[in-house]
Amino acid sequence: MDNASFHKNGKIKALIESAGCDLLYLPAYSPDFNPIEHQWARIKHHIRKALPSCNRNLYEAAEQAFHLISIHK
């Protein structure tokens, strides 16, 4: 799992271990293990490049960025 704070909740750990599974955490920002990180990086880059000056512009930049996501790349 990644290092989201809710993944480290004691209840989550107990639930996973009660199912007989071992709990392993990924290193922070590990795109080799978590390919979605590549897509988030593309989205963030697009939004930073757009330099949105208000919430509406931010929403539009984010919407355009999400259209860049492809399951093939």
Neighbours of 69 (CB within 10 A): 13
Q: Please report the pLDDT score of residue 38 as a whole number.
A: 82
pTM above 0.75, yes or no: no
Mean pLDDT in residue range 29-56: 83
Predicted confidence at residue 32, as pLDDT, reads 77
pLDDT tens by residue, 38-50: 888 888 999 988 8
What's the pLDDT score for residue 13?
83
Burial class (CB in 10 A: 0-12, 13-18, 19+), 58: middle
Q: Supply 17's token pair.
A: 């271990």
- Helices and strands (H and E) in the chain: how many: 3, 0
Q: Is the model more confident about 5 or about 68?
A: 68
pLDDT at position 65 over 70? yes
